[in-house]
Chain A
Protein backbone atom coordinates (compact mmCIF):
# COMPACT_ATOMS: atom_id res chain seq x y z
CA UNK A 1 0.00 0.00 0.00
CA UNK A 2 2.78 2.40 1.00
CA UNK A 3 4.61 1.81 -2.29
CA UNK A 4 1.52 2.29 -4.43
CA UNK A 5 0.53 5.45 -2.53
CA UNK A 6 4.08 6.79 -2.85
CA UNK A 7 3.91 6.20 -6.60
CA UNK A 8 0.50 7.88 -6.94
CA UNK A 9 1.52 10.95 -4.95
CA UNK A 10 4.83 11.24 -6.77
CA UNK A 11 2.95 10.99 -10.07
CA UNK A 12 0.44 13.68 -9.00
CA UNK A 13 3.41 15.91 -8.19
CA UNK A 14 5.57 15.19 -11.25
CA UNK A 15 2.66 15.49 -13.67
CA UNK A 16 1.79 18.89 -12.08
CA UNK A 17 -1.73 17.65 -11.30
CA UNK A 18 -1.29 18.48 -7.63
CA UNK A 19 -0.01 21.93 -8.57
CA UNK A 20 -2.86 22.56 -11.03
CA UNK A 21 -5.51 21.50 -8.51
CA UNK A 22 -3.98 23.75 -5.84
CA UNK A 23 -3.56 26.68 -8.25
CA UNK A 24 -7.15 26.49 -9.50
CA UNK A 25 -8.62 26.17 -6.01
CA UNK A 26 -6.45 29.00 -4.64
CA UNK A 27 -7.52 31.21 -7.55
CA UNK A 28 -11.16 30.38 -6.87
CA UNK A 29 -10.66 30.95 -3.15
CA UNK A 30 -9.35 34.44 -3.84
CA UNK A 31 -11.85 35.29 -6.58
CA UNK A 32 -14.93 34.53 -4.42
CA UNK A 33 -14.55 37.34 -1.86
CA UNK A 34 -12.80 39.57 -4.42
CA UNK A 35 -15.71 39.55 -6.88
CA UNK A 36 -18.23 39.95 -4.03
CA UNK A 37 -16.38 43.02 -2.76
CA UNK A 38 -15.59 44.76 -6.04
CA UNK A 39 -18.24 43.62 -8.53
CA UNK A 40 -20.45 46.67 -7.97
CA UNK A 41 -17.54 49.11 -8.29
CA UNK A 42 -16.27 47.25 -11.33
CA UNK A 43 -19.63 47.45 -13.06
CA UNK A 44 -20.02 51.16 -12.18
CA UNK A 45 -16.60 51.95 -13.66
CA UNK A 46 -17.49 50.46 -17.03
CA UNK A 47 -18.59 53.27 -19.37
CA UNK A 48 -22.20 52.99 -20.55
CA UNK A 49 -23.38 50.92 -17.63
CA UNK A 50 -27.13 51.57 -17.25
CA UNK A 51 -28.04 53.73 -14.32
CA UNK A 52 -29.64 51.93 -11.44
CA UNK A 53 -27.74 48.70 -12.05
CA UNK A 54 -26.12 49.11 -8.65
CA UNK A 55 -29.52 48.79 -7.08
CA UNK A 56 -30.11 45.47 -8.85
CA UNK A 57 -26.70 44.01 -8.00
CA UNK A 58 -26.44 42.48 -4.53
CA UNK A 59 -24.72 44.59 -1.90
CA UNK A 60 -21.17 43.46 -1.05
CA UNK A 61 -21.62 41.60 2.22
CA UNK A 62 -19.62 38.92 3.96
CA UNK A 63 -22.49 36.48 3.31
CA UNK A 64 -22.20 37.14 -0.41
CA UNK A 65 -18.43 36.64 -0.22
CA UNK A 66 -18.87 33.24 1.45
CA UNK A 67 -21.56 32.28 -1.02
CA UNK A 68 -19.29 33.16 -3.98
CA UNK A 69 -16.39 31.34 -2.35
CA UNK A 70 -18.39 28.13 -1.83
CA UNK A 71 -19.90 28.23 -5.33
CA UNK A 72 -16.53 28.82 -6.99
CA UNK A 73 -14.75 26.07 -5.09
CA UNK A 74 -17.59 23.59 -5.58
CA UNK A 75 -18.03 24.27 -9.32
CA UNK A 76 -14.38 24.39 -10.35
CA UNK A 77 -13.55 21.63 -7.88
CA UNK A 78 -16.22 19.47 -9.52
CA UNK A 79 -14.62 20.00 -12.95
CA UNK A 80 -11.26 19.01 -11.48
CA UNK A 81 -12.83 15.95 -9.80
CA UNK A 82 -14.13 14.84 -13.20
CA UNK A 83 -10.92 15.54 -15.12
CA UNK A 84 -8.04 14.66 -12.80
CA UNK A 85 -8.90 10.97 -12.15
CA UNK A 86 -10.25 10.14 -15.63
CA UNK A 87 -6.99 8.50 -16.80
CA UNK A 88 -6.10 7.00 -13.43
CA UNK A 89 -6.96 3.39 -14.28
CA UNK A 90 -7.82 3.33 -17.97
CA UNK A 91 -4.57 5.14 -18.80
CA UNK A 92 -2.55 2.52 -16.95
CA UNK A 93 -4.47 -0.31 -18.58
CA UNK A 94 -3.95 1.00 -22.09
CA UNK A 95 -0.28 1.90 -21.57
CA UNK A 96 0.55 -1.49 -20.02
CA UNK A 97 1.83 -0.16 -16.69
CA UNK A 98 -1.14 -1.70 -14.86
CA UNK A 99 -0.13 -5.13 -16.19
CA UNK A 100 3.46 -4.64 -15.05
CA UNK A 101 2.33 -3.56 -11.57
CA UNK A 102 -0.40 -6.16 -11.10
CA UNK A 103 1.83 -9.05 -12.17
CA UNK A 104 3.64 -8.26 -8.89
CA UNK A 105 2.16 -9.09 -5.47
CA UNK A 106 -0.09 -6.01 -5.43
CA UNK A 107 -3.81 -6.41 -4.75
CA UNK A 108 -6.09 -4.86 -7.32
CA UNK A 109 -8.18 -3.41 -4.50
CA UNK A 110 -5.13 -1.74 -2.96
CA UNK A 111 -4.12 -0.52 -6.43
CA UNK A 112 -7.45 1.33 -6.62
CA UNK A 113 -7.41 2.42 -2.98
CA UNK A 114 -3.98 4.03 -3.43
CA UNK A 115 -5.41 6.07 -6.29
CA UNK A 116 -8.40 7.13 -4.21
CA UNK A 117 -6.18 8.13 -1.27
CA UNK A 118 -3.87 10.08 -3.56
CA UNK A 119 -6.90 11.97 -4.88
CA UNK A 120 -8.03 12.59 -1.31
CA UNK A 121 -4.61 14.02 -0.43
CA UNK A 122 -4.39 16.09 -3.63
CA UNK A 123 -7.81 17.64 -3.11
CA UNK A 124 -7.21 18.05 0.63
CA UNK A 125 -4.05 20.07 -0.07
CA UNK A 126 -5.77 22.08 -2.81
CA UNK A 127 -8.84 22.79 -0.69
CA UNK A 128 -6.79 23.66 2.39
CA UNK A 129 -4.95 26.26 0.30
CA UNK A 130 -8.09 27.42 -1.52
CA UNK A 131 -10.20 27.79 1.63
CA UNK A 132 -7.29 29.44 3.48
CA UNK A 133 -6.98 31.97 0.64
CA UNK A 134 -10.73 32.56 0.78
CA UNK A 135 -10.57 33.01 4.57
CA UNK A 136 -7.72 35.51 4.28
CA UNK A 137 -9.36 37.58 1.52
CA UNK A 138 -12.76 37.52 3.26
CA UNK A 139 -11.06 38.74 6.42
CA UNK A 140 -9.10 41.46 4.64
CA UNK A 141 -11.99 42.69 2.50
CA UNK A 142 -14.91 42.20 4.91
CA UNK A 143 -14.51 40.91 8.41
CA UNK A 144 -12.59 38.18 10.17
CA UNK A 145 -14.85 35.23 10.82
CA UNK A 146 -14.17 32.27 13.14
CA UNK A 147 -11.60 30.03 11.51
CA UNK A 148 -13.30 26.84 12.69
CA UNK A 149 -16.20 27.47 10.32
CA UNK A 150 -13.80 27.53 7.39
CA UNK A 151 -12.35 24.25 8.65
CA UNK A 152 -15.83 22.72 8.46
CA UNK A 153 -16.27 24.22 4.96
CA UNK A 154 -12.98 22.66 3.80
CA UNK A 155 -14.03 19.26 5.17
CA UNK A 156 -17.45 19.47 3.54
CA UNK A 157 -15.97 20.46 0.17
CA UNK A 158 -13.43 17.64 0.42
CA UNK A 159 -16.18 15.09 0.95
CA UNK A 160 -18.19 16.61 -1.92
CA UNK A 161 -15.25 16.53 -4.36
CA UNK A 162 -14.06 13.10 -3.22
CA UNK A 163 -17.50 11.74 -3.99
CA UNK A 164 -17.29 12.95 -7.60
CA UNK A 165 -13.65 11.87 -7.88
CA UNK A 166 -14.77 8.37 -6.77
CA UNK A 167 -17.36 8.34 -9.55
CA UNK A 168 -14.69 9.28 -12.10
CA UNK A 169 -12.31 6.65 -10.72
CA UNK A 170 -15.01 4.01 -11.13
CA UNK A 171 -15.69 5.23 -14.68
CA UNK A 172 -11.96 5.03 -15.39
CA UNK A 173 -11.97 1.41 -14.14
CA UNK A 174 -14.99 0.41 -16.21
CA UNK A 175 -14.26 2.18 -19.50
CA UNK A 176 -11.72 1.44 -22.24
CA UNK A 177 -10.70 5.02 -23.04
CA UNK A 178 -10.12 8.21 -21.13
CA UNK A 179 -12.75 10.02 -23.16
CA UNK A 180 -15.36 7.37 -22.41
CA UNK A 181 -14.40 7.50 -18.72
CA UNK A 182 -14.81 11.28 -18.64
CA UNK A 183 -18.10 10.99 -20.54
CA UNK A 184 -19.49 8.41 -18.13
CA UNK A 185 -18.37 10.40 -15.09
CA UNK A 186 -19.89 13.59 -16.51
CA UNK A 187 -23.13 11.75 -17.32
CA UNK A 188 -23.35 10.31 -13.80
CA UNK A 189 -22.65 13.74 -12.26
CA UNK A 190 -25.38 15.24 -14.42
CA UNK A 191 -27.79 12.49 -13.42
CA UNK A 192 -27.00 13.10 -9.75
CA UNK A 193 -27.62 16.80 -10.27
CA UNK A 194 -31.04 16.03 -11.74
CA UNK A 195 -31.84 13.51 -9.01
CA UNK A 196 -30.81 16.16 -6.46
CA UNK A 197 -33.65 18.41 -7.61
CA UNK A 198 -36.25 15.80 -6.68
CA UNK A 199 -37.41 16.87 -3.21
CA UNK A 200 -37.57 13.38 -1.75
CA UNK A 201 -34.03 12.53 -2.93
CA UNK A 202 -32.37 15.95 -2.77
CA UNK A 203 -31.53 15.59 0.89
CA UNK A 204 -29.32 12.59 0.05
CA UNK A 205 -27.43 14.45 -2.69
CA UNK A 206 -23.84 15.58 -1.96
CA UNK A 207 -24.94 19.09 -2.95
CA UNK A 208 -26.97 19.16 0.26
CA UNK A 209 -23.65 19.22 2.14
CA UNK A 210 -22.72 22.60 0.71
CA UNK A 211 -25.37 24.48 2.68
CA UNK A 212 -23.88 23.15 5.88
CA UNK A 213 -20.41 24.34 4.86
CA UNK A 214 -21.74 27.74 3.83
CA UNK A 215 -23.50 28.26 7.17
CA UNK A 216 -20.45 27.10 9.13
CA UNK A 217 -18.14 29.49 7.27
CA UNK A 218 -20.54 32.35 7.98
CA UNK A 219 -20.04 31.67 11.65
CA UNK A 220 -23.57 30.44 12.09
CA UNK A 221 -24.94 27.07 12.97
CA UNK A 222 -26.85 24.78 10.69
CA UNK A 223 -28.30 21.35 11.15
CA UNK A 224 -25.90 18.70 9.97
CA UNK A 225 -27.37 17.14 6.79
CA UNK A 226 -27.12 13.62 8.11
CA UNK A 227 -28.73 11.99 5.08
CA UNK A 228 -26.29 13.58 2.63
CA UNK A 229 -23.36 13.00 4.97
CA UNK A 230 -24.23 9.34 5.46
CA UNK A 231 -24.86 8.87 1.74
CA UNK A 232 -21.45 10.33 0.86
CA UNK A 233 -19.65 8.33 3.55
CA UNK A 234 -21.30 5.11 2.38
CA UNK A 235 -21.10 5.73 -1.35
CA UNK A 236 -17.41 6.68 -1.55
CA UNK A 237 -16.20 3.28 -0.23
CA UNK A 238 -19.10 1.67 -2.11
CA UNK A 239 -17.90 3.06 -5.43
CA UNK A 240 -14.38 1.83 -4.61
CA UNK A 241 -15.77 -1.65 -3.89
CA UNK A 242 -17.65 -1.73 -7.20
CA UNK A 243 -14.44 -0.64 -8.96
CA UNK A 244 -12.46 -3.37 -7.21
CA UNK A 245 -15.02 -6.01 -8.17
CA UNK A 246 -14.86 -4.84 -11.79
CA UNK A 247 -11.05 -4.70 -11.88
CA UNK A 248 -10.79 -8.21 -10.41
CA UNK A 249 -12.71 -9.57 -13.39
CA UNK A 250 -10.75 -7.65 -16.00
CA UNK A 251 -7.85 -9.06 -18.00
CA UNK A 252 -4.85 -6.81 -18.40
Chain B
Protein backbone atom coordinates (compact mmCIF):
# COMPACT_ATOMS: atom_id res chain seq x y z
CA UNK B 1 0.00 0.00 0.00
CA UNK B 2 1.21 3.49 -0.82
CA UNK B 3 1.96 5.83 2.06
CA UNK B 4 0.44 8.65 0.00
CA UNK B 5 -1.87 8.22 -2.96
CA UNK B 6 -3.15 11.11 -5.00
CA UNK B 7 -5.59 10.67 -7.88
CA UNK B 8 -6.67 13.38 -10.25
CA UNK B 9 -6.54 16.25 -7.73
CA UNK B 10 -8.10 19.47 -8.96
CA UNK B 11 -8.20 22.76 -7.14
CA UNK B 12 -8.90 26.26 -8.40
CA UNK B 13 -8.60 29.60 -6.62
CA UNK B 14 -10.97 31.93 -8.44
CA UNK B 15 -9.80 31.63 -12.05
CA UNK B 16 -6.37 30.18 -11.26
CA UNK B 17 -6.16 26.42 -11.65
CA UNK B 18 -3.71 25.47 -8.87
CA UNK B 19 -4.03 21.71 -9.38
CA UNK B 20 -5.07 20.23 -12.68
CA UNK B 21 -5.54 16.48 -12.38
CA UNK B 22 -2.48 15.78 -10.26
CA UNK B 23 -1.75 12.11 -9.58
CA UNK B 24 1.15 10.34 -7.90
CA UNK B 25 2.03 7.82 -5.20
CA UNK B 26 4.67 7.92 -2.48
CA UNK B 27 5.97 4.55 -1.32
CA UNK B 28 6.61 3.85 2.38
CA UNK B 29 10.20 4.35 3.47
CA UNK B 30 11.09 6.82 0.75
CA UNK B 31 11.86 10.51 0.56
CA UNK B 32 9.90 12.10 -2.28
CA UNK B 33 11.23 15.41 -3.60
CA UNK B 34 8.35 17.58 -4.74
CA UNK B 35 9.70 20.23 -7.10
CA UNK B 36 8.13 23.00 -9.07
CA UNK B 37 8.28 26.71 -9.72
CA UNK B 38 6.41 29.20 -7.53
CA UNK B 39 2.67 28.75 -7.83
CA UNK B 40 2.96 25.28 -9.33
CA UNK B 41 0.64 23.77 -6.69
CA UNK B 42 3.08 22.20 -4.21
CA UNK B 43 1.77 23.92 -1.07
CA UNK B 44 -1.85 23.37 -2.10
CA UNK B 45 -1.15 19.65 -2.47
CA UNK B 46 0.44 19.46 0.97
CA UNK B 47 -2.44 21.41 2.53
CA UNK B 48 -4.96 19.00 1.01
CA UNK B 49 -2.99 16.05 2.38
CA UNK B 50 -2.89 17.70 5.83
CA UNK B 51 -6.68 18.14 5.80
CA UNK B 52 -6.52 21.93 5.70
CA UNK B 53 -7.92 22.38 2.20
CA UNK B 54 -10.44 20.51 0.09
CA UNK B 55 -9.92 19.52 -3.53
CA UNK B 56 -12.51 20.52 -6.13
CA UNK B 57 -12.05 17.13 -7.70
CA UNK B 58 -10.06 13.93 -7.30
CA UNK B 59 -9.02 12.40 -4.01
CA UNK B 60 -6.03 11.80 -1.78
CA UNK B 61 -5.26 9.10 0.77
CA UNK B 62 -2.67 8.89 3.52
CA UNK B 63 -1.90 5.38 4.81
CA UNK B 64 -5.13 4.26 3.16
CA UNK B 65 -7.35 6.91 4.82
CA UNK B 66 -9.00 9.61 2.72
CA UNK B 67 -7.74 13.05 3.70
CA UNK B 68 -10.03 15.79 5.01
CA UNK B 69 -10.69 18.17 7.91
CA UNK B 70 -11.80 15.42 10.32
CA UNK B 71 -9.87 12.51 8.77
CA UNK B 72 -8.22 9.89 11.01
CA UNK B 73 -5.23 10.23 8.67
CA UNK B 74 -4.20 13.29 10.69
CA UNK B 75 -3.05 10.99 13.52
CA UNK B 76 -0.53 9.44 11.16
CA UNK B 77 0.78 12.64 9.61
CA UNK B 78 3.49 15.06 10.64
CA UNK B 79 3.08 18.39 8.86
CA UNK B 80 5.52 21.26 8.65
CA UNK B 81 4.09 24.30 6.83
CA UNK B 82 6.35 26.60 4.86
CA UNK B 83 6.23 29.27 7.57
CA UNK B 84 5.28 27.53 10.79
CA UNK B 85 3.45 29.72 13.30
CA UNK B 86 3.35 29.00 17.00
CA UNK B 87 1.78 30.39 20.15
CA UNK B 88 4.50 32.89 20.89
CA UNK B 89 3.71 32.96 24.60
CA UNK B 90 4.56 29.25 24.99
CA UNK B 91 8.03 27.86 25.52
CA UNK B 92 9.23 25.16 23.12
CA UNK B 93 8.83 22.56 25.86
CA UNK B 94 5.28 23.64 26.61
CA UNK B 95 4.44 23.64 22.94
CA UNK B 96 5.80 20.15 22.25
CA UNK B 97 5.21 18.33 25.54
CA UNK B 98 1.95 19.87 26.72
CA UNK B 99 0.28 20.96 23.49
CA UNK B 100 1.28 18.98 20.41
CA UNK B 101 1.86 15.71 22.30
CA UNK B 102 -1.49 16.28 24.03
CA UNK B 103 -3.28 16.71 20.71
CA UNK B 104 -1.90 13.34 19.63
CA UNK B 105 -2.90 11.82 22.98
CA UNK B 106 0.62 10.77 23.95
CA UNK B 107 0.93 9.56 27.57
CA UNK B 108 2.70 12.09 29.83
CA UNK B 109 5.91 10.06 30.20
CA UNK B 110 6.17 9.45 26.46
CA UNK B 111 5.46 13.15 25.79
CA UNK B 112 8.30 14.19 28.12
CA UNK B 113 10.73 11.68 26.64
CA UNK B 114 9.85 12.48 23.03
CA UNK B 115 10.04 16.24 23.64
CA UNK B 116 13.51 16.01 25.17
CA UNK B 117 14.66 13.69 22.35
CA UNK B 118 13.37 15.95 19.56
CA UNK B 119 14.58 19.20 21.11
CA UNK B 120 18.03 17.60 21.34
CA UNK B 121 17.80 16.33 17.76
CA UNK B 122 16.90 19.72 16.28
CA UNK B 123 19.39 21.57 18.48
CA UNK B 124 16.94 23.50 20.65
CA UNK B 125 17.66 22.02 24.08
CA UNK B 126 19.33 25.19 25.33
CA UNK B 127 16.38 27.31 24.19
CA UNK B 128 13.70 24.85 25.38
CA UNK B 129 12.53 27.04 28.26
CA UNK B 130 12.57 30.29 26.33
CA UNK B 131 9.37 31.75 24.94
CA UNK B 132 8.94 31.08 21.23
CA UNK B 133 8.36 34.81 20.71
CA UNK B 134 12.12 35.29 20.96
CA UNK B 135 13.02 32.57 18.45
CA UNK B 136 14.69 33.33 15.13
CA UNK B 137 13.16 32.14 11.86
CA UNK B 138 15.61 29.24 11.72
CA UNK B 139 14.80 28.18 15.30
CA UNK B 140 11.09 28.27 14.46
CA UNK B 141 11.69 26.04 11.46
CA UNK B 142 13.60 23.57 13.61
CA UNK B 143 10.82 23.62 16.20
CA UNK B 144 8.39 23.12 13.32
CA UNK B 145 10.18 19.95 12.30
CA UNK B 146 10.21 18.72 15.91
CA UNK B 147 6.42 19.17 16.22
CA UNK B 148 5.94 17.34 12.92
CA UNK B 149 7.76 14.30 14.29
CA UNK B 150 6.42 14.08 17.84
CA UNK B 151 3.84 11.37 17.01
CA UNK B 152 6.35 9.17 15.13
CA UNK B 153 4.28 9.72 11.97
CA UNK B 154 3.94 7.25 9.12
CA UNK B 155 3.93 10.18 6.69
CA UNK B 156 5.79 13.47 7.00
CA UNK B 157 4.78 16.44 4.85
CA UNK B 158 7.50 19.09 4.69
CA UNK B 159 6.90 22.36 2.89
CA UNK B 160 10.26 24.03 2.24
CA UNK B 161 11.76 22.54 5.43
CA UNK B 162 15.23 24.10 5.19
CA UNK B 163 14.49 27.45 3.57
CA UNK B 164 15.19 29.50 6.72
CA UNK B 165 18.21 27.56 7.95
CA UNK B 166 21.89 28.46 7.86
CA UNK B 167 24.24 26.01 6.06
CA UNK B 168 25.04 24.05 9.25
CA UNK B 169 21.38 23.85 10.24
CA UNK B 170 20.45 22.83 6.71
CA UNK B 171 23.02 20.04 6.68
CA UNK B 172 21.81 18.77 10.04
CA UNK B 173 18.17 18.92 8.96
CA UNK B 174 18.87 17.01 5.75
CA UNK B 175 20.64 14.35 7.79
CA UNK B 176 17.57 14.06 9.98
CA UNK B 177 15.29 13.79 6.94
CA UNK B 178 17.61 11.15 5.53
CA UNK B 179 17.29 9.15 8.77
CA UNK B 180 13.50 9.38 8.63
CA UNK B 181 13.28 7.15 5.58
CA UNK B 182 13.88 4.09 7.79
CA UNK B 183 10.46 4.46 9.40
CA UNK B 184 8.57 7.09 7.45
CA UNK B 185 7.52 8.26 4.03
CA UNK B 186 8.57 11.86 3.49
CA UNK B 187 7.02 14.22 0.95
CA UNK B 188 9.28 17.25 0.79
CA UNK B 189 8.62 20.32 -1.30
CA UNK B 190 11.61 22.53 -1.91
CA UNK B 191 13.25 24.96 -4.28
CA UNK B 192 16.73 23.85 -3.30
CA UNK B 193 17.62 21.29 -5.95
CA UNK B 194 20.89 20.33 -4.26
CA UNK B 195 18.91 19.15 -1.25
CA UNK B 196 16.69 16.99 -3.40
CA UNK B 197 19.74 15.41 -5.00
CA UNK B 198 21.17 14.69 -1.57
CA UNK B 199 18.22 13.06 0.20
CA UNK B 200 15.40 12.19 -2.19
CA UNK B 201 14.88 8.73 -3.68
CA UNK B 202 12.08 9.82 -5.96
CA UNK B 203 11.50 13.15 -7.62
CA UNK B 204 8.29 14.62 -8.94
CA UNK B 205 8.30 17.87 -10.88
CA UNK B 206 5.02 19.74 -10.96
CA UNK B 207 4.13 22.67 -13.14
CA UNK B 208 0.79 24.46 -13.49
CA UNK B 209 -0.77 21.83 -11.24
CA UNK B 210 0.32 18.88 -13.35
CA UNK B 211 3.08 16.34 -12.85
CA UNK B 212 5.50 16.86 -15.71
CA UNK B 213 8.14 14.35 -14.59
CA UNK B 214 8.12 11.59 -12.01
CA UNK B 215 10.75 8.95 -11.47
CA UNK B 216 13.51 7.71 -9.25
CA UNK B 217 16.17 10.37 -8.98
CA UNK B 218 18.88 8.63 -11.02
CA UNK B 219 16.42 7.48 -13.66
CA UNK B 220 15.12 11.02 -14.00
CA UNK B 221 18.63 12.39 -14.37
CA UNK B 222 19.44 9.79 -17.00
CA UNK B 223 16.24 10.44 -18.89
CA UNK B 224 16.09 14.19 -18.95
CA UNK B 225 19.51 15.59 -18.25
CA UNK B 226 21.30 16.66 -21.40
CA UNK B 227 25.05 16.16 -21.76
CA UNK B 228 27.07 19.07 -20.48
CA UNK B 229 30.67 20.19 -20.70
CA UNK B 230 32.74 22.43 -18.50
CA UNK B 231 35.71 24.29 -19.91
CA UNK B 232 37.99 26.32 -17.68
CA UNK B 233 40.37 28.84 -19.31
CA UNK B 234 43.40 30.58 -17.89
CA UNK B 235 42.11 33.96 -19.02
CA UNK B 236 40.21 37.08 -17.98
CA UNK B 237 36.42 36.92 -17.62
CA UNK B 238 35.67 39.30 -20.51
CA UNK B 239 37.17 37.25 -23.41
CA UNK B 240 35.77 34.06 -21.85
CA UNK B 241 32.32 35.64 -21.77
CA UNK B 242 32.67 36.77 -25.37
CA UNK B 243 33.71 33.26 -26.45
CA UNK B 244 30.67 31.78 -24.66
CA UNK B 245 28.47 34.20 -26.57
CA UNK B 246 29.88 33.03 -29.94
CA UNK B 247 29.44 29.41 -28.86
CA UNK B 248 25.69 29.92 -28.41
CA UNK B 249 25.36 30.40 -32.15
CA UNK B 250 27.02 27.08 -32.98
CA UNK B 251 24.62 24.34 -34.18
CA UNK B 252 24.26 21.46 -31.67
CA UNK B 253 24.80 23.67 -28.63
CA UNK B 254 21.72 24.32 -26.51
CA UNK B 255 23.27 26.79 -24.09
CA UNK B 256 26.60 28.24 -23.02
CA UNK B 257 27.03 30.24 -19.83
CA UNK B 258 30.20 31.83 -18.51
CA UNK B 259 31.04 32.26 -14.85
CA UNK B 260 34.43 34.05 -14.57
CA UNK B 261 36.89 31.76 -16.41
CA UNK B 262 34.56 28.75 -16.54
CA UNK B 263 32.12 28.09 -19.36
CA UNK B 264 29.35 25.55 -18.94
CA UNK B 265 28.01 24.20 -22.21
CA UNK B 266 24.79 22.25 -22.62
CA UNK B 267 24.74 20.08 -25.75
CA UNK B 268 21.58 19.17 -27.63
CA UNK B 269 22.53 15.49 -27.83
CA UNK B 270 25.14 13.18 -26.30
CA UNK B 271 26.96 12.48 -29.53
CA UNK B 272 26.82 15.97 -30.89
CA UNK B 273 29.53 18.41 -30.39
CA UNK B 274 31.98 17.68 -27.61
CA UNK B 275 34.88 17.34 -30.07
CA UNK B 276 33.66 20.43 -31.89
CA UNK B 277 33.59 22.42 -28.64
CA UNK B 278 37.09 21.23 -27.74
CA UNK B 279 38.30 22.38 -31.16
CA UNK B 280 36.66 25.78 -30.73
CA UNK B 281 38.15 26.15 -27.25
CA UNK B 282 41.65 25.50 -28.53
CA UNK B 283 41.03 27.80 -31.51
CA UNK B 284 40.00 30.61 -29.17
CA UNK B 285 43.67 31.18 -28.37
CA UNK B 286 43.04 31.16 -24.62
CA UNK B 287 44.93 28.49 -22.65
CA UNK B 288 42.54 25.66 -21.68
CA UNK B 289 43.02 24.68 -18.01
CA UNK B 290 40.29 22.02 -17.85
CA UNK B 291 37.87 20.35 -20.25
CA UNK B 292 35.46 17.77 -18.87
CA UNK B 293 32.04 16.23 -19.16
CA UNK B 294 29.89 17.67 -16.37
CA UNK B 295 27.62 15.38 -14.37
CA UNK B 296 24.01 16.17 -15.23
CA UNK B 297 22.19 17.80 -12.32
CA UNK B 298 18.61 18.03 -11.26
CA UNK B 299 18.82 21.70 -12.07
CA UNK B 300 19.38 20.76 -15.71
CA UNK B 301 16.29 18.57 -15.61
CA UNK B 302 14.25 21.19 -13.80
CA UNK B 303 15.24 23.98 -16.17
CA UNK B 304 14.59 21.84 -19.17
CA UNK B 305 11.11 20.90 -18.00
CA UNK B 306 9.85 24.10 -16.43
CA UNK B 307 12.62 26.62 -16.90
CA UNK B 308 11.11 28.43 -19.84
CA UNK B 309 7.84 29.06 -18.07
CA UNK B 310 9.61 30.07 -14.87
CA UNK B 311 11.81 32.54 -16.64
CA UNK B 312 8.81 33.95 -18.45
CA UNK B 313 6.99 34.34 -15.13
Chain A residues in the interface with B (C-beta under 8 A): 2-4, 6-7, 10-11, 14-15, 95-97, 99-108, 248, 251-252
Contact = CB atoms under 8 A, between A and B. Distances in A.
Given A96-B83, A100-B147, A104-B104, 8 more contacts: A4-B103, A7-B98, A11-B87, A97-B86, A99-B81, A105-B75, A108-B69, A251-B54
Contacts of A252: 47, 52-53
- Looking at B69, B72, B98, the one whose CB has the most chain A CB atoms below 10 A away is B69
A234 to B, nearest CB: 25
Nearest 5 interchain pairs by C-beta: A3-B102, A96-B85, A104-B103, A103-B50, A103-B79
B81 A96 contact: yes
Given A95-B85, A96-B84, A99-B81, A106 B103 contact: yes
Contacts of B103: 3-4, 101, 104-106
22 contacts: A3-B102, A6-B102, A7-B87, A7-B98, A7-B99, A10-B89, A10-B90, A10-B94, A11-B87, A95-B85, A96-B83, A97-B86, A97-B87, A99-B50, A100-B81, A100-B85, A103-B81, A108-B70, A251-B52, A251-B53, A252-B47, A252-B52
Contacts of B70: 107-108, 248
Nearest to B51: A103
Contacts of B86: 97, 100
Contacts of B47: 99, 251-252
Interface residues of B, number: 30
A246 B99 CA distance: 25
Interface string B180-224: 000000000000000000000000000000000000000000000
B143 to A, nearest CB: 11
A110 to B, nearest CB: 10
Contact of A104 (B83, B84, B89, B100): B100
Contacts of A102: 51-52, 69
A87 to B, nearest CB: 13
B104 A100 contact: no
A104 B87 CA distance: 15
Contacts of B229: none
Contacts of A14: 89
A105 B50 contact: no
Interface in B70-98: 70, 72, 74-75, 77, 79, 81, 83-87, 89-90, 94, 98
A108 to B, nearest CB: 6
A87 B69 CA distance: 22
Contacts of B81: 96, 99-100, 103
Contacts of B72: 105
A100 B86 CA distance: 8
A138 to B, nearest CB: 38
A3 B51 CA distance: 20
B87 A103 contact: no
Interface in B39-80: 47, 50-54, 69-70, 72, 74-75, 77, 79
B178 to A, nearest CB: 24
B180 to A, nearest CB: 18
A6 B98 contact: yes
Given A6-B102, A102-B51, A103-B79, A97 B69 contact: no
B156 to A, nearest CB: 12
